[in-house]
Amino acid sequence: MDIFTTLIQTTKKLGISGYAYLRDRIARAYQLSSIADLIINAAANHAGA
């Protein structure tokens, strides 16, 4: 359960829907970037601000 909670909190901080992210991964649609890529992009944007 901790992993699910962390995933939802992380997606919320990144401004995307946790439900949409999970649905994208379970369906193997891969329309959304990986969590790792989203975190890297957010950190780069924050550092450049």
Residues 7 and 22: beta-carbon distance below 8 Å: yes
pLDDT on residue 4: 92
- The string of pLDDT tens digits covering residues 6-44 is 999 999 999 999 999 999 999 999 999 999 999 999 999
Q: How far apart are CA 16 and CA 14, in angstroms?
A: 6
Query: Residue 3 in 3-state DSSP?
Result: helix
Task: Decide: 31 and 24 in contact? Cβ < 8 Å.
Answer: yes
What pLDDT does 47 receive? 87
pTM: 0.79
At 1 the pLDDT is: 76
